[in-house]
Structure 1
Amino acid sequence: MIKTKNTYVTYEMNILLIVISVLLSVICVLLALLQHYYFIIKLYKKPSIKYDIPVFEDLIPSGKTKFDRDFPLQAVKDYDEDLVLYDLNSVLNSQPQLGQSDSLDFIKIDKATGTDSEVYNTLQAAITFKLSGKNHKALKLFEHAAAIAPENPDVLNKYGEFLEQQHQDVVSADELYFKALTYSPDHKAALINRERTAQVVESLDYNLFKSIDAKNDYLKKRMKLDSFEAVKKQAYYLHIYHTVGIEGNTMTVEQLRYLLETGQVVSGKSLVEHNEILGLEKAMQYIKLLVRQDYIGINEILGIHRRVMGHVDPIASGVFRNENVFVSSHSPPFYEEVPSLMDSYVEWLNSEEAQSMHPVRYAALAHYKLVDIHPFIDGNGRTSRLIMNLILLKAGYPPVMVLKEQREKYYDTLKTANMGDVRPFVRFVAQCTLQILNMYIYGTRFLSIEGESQEGKQLVNYE
């Protein structure tokens, strides 16, 4: 047979097509492998930050809640005053906190009740007293004006100027300027003021985090040298006391300790109050198990909530809500959106972006984002605070507590975050972190959970 030129061309083209097909197949296989590899890496990627050894995880005792004590457990009595709480607050509040001012505690985020003329006259009177040097009277009038007209941008701006100029409280002033711009984005005076204070506040917040890190490093060194058993005993019960207390539980520290250690009911207290305390203790034990786990997923969040609410509402515990809810002035997302929002939340929670933040900022944002979604019918606040403390423990910081007396400030900063400024809430969590660090650093002596110390009933003694 004679092979023509065309036959050779056809043969070569067939070879070329085969080679090209093989190459394309190899490329497709490589792309599939790369895609699979990328998916696996993205799904199971370890956190980009290296967590410190969680040295404070033993602040949550394991097993049955019972400590070895040098004082007996007494029968529960009714006290006119909770001496333990009183002494703790006096210590925590005595510590100066960078950028914190109590002057905003009175402001309510309710609808304004005053008339325009009353607001105008009050504001003018406040400015007059300010110009005449009567700052105390001016402050009272600014407070009154802000209370009756919390959405008036002129009142908020002028009040902010007063705090900045007369009290050098740039942080609170900046918050007021932001609120003024929330209600009136083109308010010229507030825009000018906010442009000036924003950078100053950012610098103060940076210094606040530096102060937290310095105290935390010092506490870690102290933990290796000194015994903190007495403080740990107090802190564990106080943490439960304040966490449920914010939600309205009326048990005293002595009563909840009696319940947890004896298993006996406390006379005069509701079954729900008993179950809230038992559930929170189980949730704290679960948090301790999660401290050394890298990934925080949906199952872990549901597990926390299941323990928090399991004794109170077994049916609704550990499952997302199936109805819409309303929280004061905030309307959380529709319940149909909750599953997808929680998937996005978990993705953010384990992302490099989130874990590269300062741990206190990361923990505060994790708290806010979850409570903003409000994925459960009840127990959202307790679950959010537990996740916040889980993040802090994983990063080598002690768990923080929000005192019952800080409830108004706590909710006020959450409302401000809902308005678009999350910085006050992050700052509030940072100040709570300083509080607990101060408690551990300065307090080791004369502690009694009953408030019956032989040394003057003093909770924390400063060196």
Structure 2
Amino acid sequence: MNIFLIVISILLSIICALVALLQHYYFFHELYRRPSLKYDVSVFEDLIPSGKDDKYRGHNFPLQSKNDDTNTDSVLSHMNYALESQSKYSITERYSSQHAETSQHEVDNALQAAIAFQVTGKTFKALKLFLYAATLAPQNADVLNTYGEFLEQLDDIVTADELYFKALTHSPNHKAALTNRARTAPLVEGLDYQLFKDIDERNNYLINQMKVDTFVSMKTQAFYLHIYHTVGIEGNTMTVEQLKYLLETGQVVEGKSLMEHNEILGLEKAMLYIKLLIRIEFIGLEHILGIHRRVMGHVDPLGSGMFRKEKVYVGSHVPPPHGDVPALMEIFVQWLNSEEALSMHPVRYAALAHYKLVDIHPFTDGNGRTSRLLMNLLFLRRNYPPVIVLKEQRQKYYDALKTANMGDVRPFVRFVARCTLKNLDMYIYTAKYLSSQRGIDSDDTKKIIVSN
């Protein structure tokens, strides 16, 4: 009996000791644990090369396979064709980028003439005059509402809804705009839902294509195009060919400034850093600062990776005071990793993260490039390819941000969604070309790529 009690006591002691060890381990693990790694590989992770120091330049560039005999110039030409065919401004976008100062009398005359052309069925002339009036008086609720009604008759419900919102921004009690927006808002929500469905369909198709072929040449050229357009939005004048020469050889491009060289080298480093972050579970403040440090490291070594310490102006928008930036960034990081944000559609999530970071404007310079890189990091983590915002879309990009600053972020989300859709079309179009070159063409591609 005594032996039995002794054995029981020993067993209980061992169990208690194990429980204590488990509690001790769990406590310290939870208290001091670092962000864990995600071991599921992003489908589009290799759209960004894996460089080691500077050894990936030139013939060691990992996306340039020795066994790939594809004409890279031809691939780049096809990708550019797919992008350029989508980047041409409509008449609305061309006129909306112009600004003028004028009298109310001229605005009224333009509006009346537009209505007269509309009544007589001269739609194109009416469109030009409506747009002219809206450009002259961008805060006139009557002009914005009337222009919206005209576009709605042309079945451009999305733009009409945006104009009604702008009219209400400047005149919250405008009866006609209130009535019109109550009608268009649900319709636009349905169109946005369909846009996300189209994106998912194309993305799933592209994922399946990537399982059939590695498309090495396409990935290489996409990497160059991404850098080209990202720095191009900020005013960099290097061509794609010059950019490729700089990155592949490390040699200076004649006639280009040191600043332009450094912008490209910094963005290259930042994109390589983005690849390291794809599998990080928790995106922290240090990671965002790390992106900016690489983006601006060659341009502004002392200020890179540091919050601004001065007041800044972005057109008519005034970002928060610099003293509020650290706290606002902490709140932003919490949102970025929250269940609410992660449960959103990937396009909406990435676009909102982009806008929120630009709105805080935490850095003196490089906010746009850092925000676009963060956006693409979020895309890659959700198995979507990085999205190129074309430099030709600069004005439309800034207009969408301006509208978001006015309180309606939907046009900016919609802008990112359309860029995503068009980029997917570019990848699919180029993949079709490469597949046809190798005799593995698929008629399914024709069903996926539709004009939008």
Give the TM-score band, short-chain normalised: 0.7 to 0.9
Q: Equivalents in 1 of 2:334, 2:91: separation in Å?
A: 36
Whole-Å separation in 2 of the counterparts to 1:205 and 1:222: 26
The answer (yes or no) to whether the contact 1:401–1:436 under 8 Å persists in 2 is: yes
The change in CA–CA distance for 1:151 and 1:272 in structure 2 (over 3 A counts) is same
Aligned partner of 2:304 in structure 1 is 317
Residue matched to 2:122: 134
Question: 1:163–1:170: 8 Å Cα contact kept in structure 2?
Answer: yes
Find the aligned partners of 1:45 and 1:299 in 2 and give their Cα distance.
Answer: 12
* Structure 1 Cα separation of the partners of residues 35 and 268 of structure 2: 31
Cα RMSD for the two superposed structures: 3.0
Corresponding position: 1:383 with 2:370: yes
Partner of 2:331: 344
1:48-104 superposed Cα distances (whole Å, 9 cap, x missing partner): xx9974110100011114223647999xxxxxxxx998864542364699xx97624
Q: Could you state the TM-score of these two structures normalised by the residue count of structure 1?
A: 0.81
Is the 1:276–1:311 contact (alpha carbons within 8 Å) kept by the matching residues of 2? yes
1:282 is aligned to 2:269: yes
TM-score by length of 2: 0.82
Q: Is residue 2:155 matched to residue 1:155?
A: no
Corresponding letter in the other structure for 1:57? E
Tell me how far 1:403 sits from its aligned partner: 0.4
Cα gap change, 1:54/1:73 in structure 2, threshold over 3 Å: closer, same or farther? closer
Are the counterparts in 1 of residues 36 and 280 from structure 2 also a CA contact under 8 Å?
no
- C-alpha separation in 2, matches of 1:128 and 1:44: 67
Distance 2:344 2:131 in 1: 36
Q: Give yes or no for the alignment of 1:369 onto 2:356.
A: yes
Question: 1:435: how far off?
Answer: 1.3
Identity of aligned residues (%): 66
**Alpha-carbon offset, residue 229 of structure 1:** 1.4
Confirm or deny: 8 A CA contact 1:53 1:395 kept in the other structure: no
Q: Is the 8 A contact 1:297 1:346 kept in 2?
A: yes
Deviations 1:84-128 (A, max 9, x none): 98864542364699xx97624532496x61211110011011001
Residues paired across the two proteins, number: 401
SS at match of 2:349: helix
From 46, 49, 61, give the equivalent of 1:58: 46
Q: Distance in 2 between matches of 1:364 and 1:418?
A: 14
Tell whether the 8 Å contact from 1:393 to 1:399 is kept in structure 2 after alignment. yes
CA distance in structure 1 between the partners assigned to 2:196 and 2:113 by the alignment: 39
Deviation digits for residues 378-403 of structure 1 (CA, Å, limit 9, x no counterpart) = 00000000000000000000000000
In the alignment, which residue of structure 1 is the partner of 2:251?
Answer: 264
Task: Tell me the amino acid that sits aligned with residue 359 of structure 2.
Answer: D
Residue aligning to 1:10: none
Unpaired stretches in structure 1, ≥5 consecutive residues: 1-32, 75-82, 448-453, 455-461
Matches within 5 A, 1:90-105: 90-92=81-83, 94=85, 103-105=92-94
CA distance in structure 2 between the aligned counterparts of 1:46 and 1:194, rounded to whole angstroms: 46
Partner of 1:329: 316
Query: Which ranges in structure 2 are unaligned for 5 or more consecutive residues?
Result: 1-22, 438-444, 447-452
Determine if contact 1:279/1:307 at 8 Å carries over to the other structure.
yes
Aligned residue number for residue 273 of structure 1: 260
CA–CA separation in structure 1 for the residues paired with 2:329 and 2:86? 38
Q: Amino acid of the residue matched to residue 404 of structure 1?
A: K
User: Is the Cα–Cα contact under 8 Å of residues 72 and 221 in structure 2 kept in the other structure?
Assistant: no
> Paired residue for 2:346, among 354, 359, 376?
359
Identify which of 400, 405, 410 aligns with 2:387. 400
Cα separation, partners in 2 of 1:248 and 1:417, compared to 1, 3 Å = same
Within 2, Cα distance between the matches of 1:314 and 1:101? 41
Deviations 1:357-397 (A, max 9, x none): 00110000000000000000100000000000000000000
Distance 1:46 1:260, change over 3 A: closer
- Match status 1:106 vs 2:65: no
Indicate yes or no: 2:431 matched with 1:444. Answer: yes
Aligned residue for 1:251? Answer: 238
Indicate yes or no: 2:228 matched with 1:241: yes
Distance of aligned partners of 1:252 and 1:109 in 2 relative to their CA distance in 1, 3 Å threshold: closer
User: Contact 1:105/1:409 (CA < 8 Å) preserved in 2?
Assistant: no
Q: Structure 1 residue 286: deviation in Å? A: 0.4
Tell me if the contact between 1:51 and 1:395 (Cα under 8 Å) persists in the aligned partners. Answer: no
Distance in 1 between residues matched to 2:199 and 2:116, nearest whole Å: 40
Question: Would the alpha carbon gap of residues 292 and 319 (structure 1) be closer, same or farther in structure 2, given more than 3 Å must change?
Answer: same
Distance in 1 (alpha carbons) for counterparts of 2:360 and 2:90 = 29
1:420 maps to 2:381: no
Whether contact under 8 Å (1:52, 1:394) holds in the other structure is no
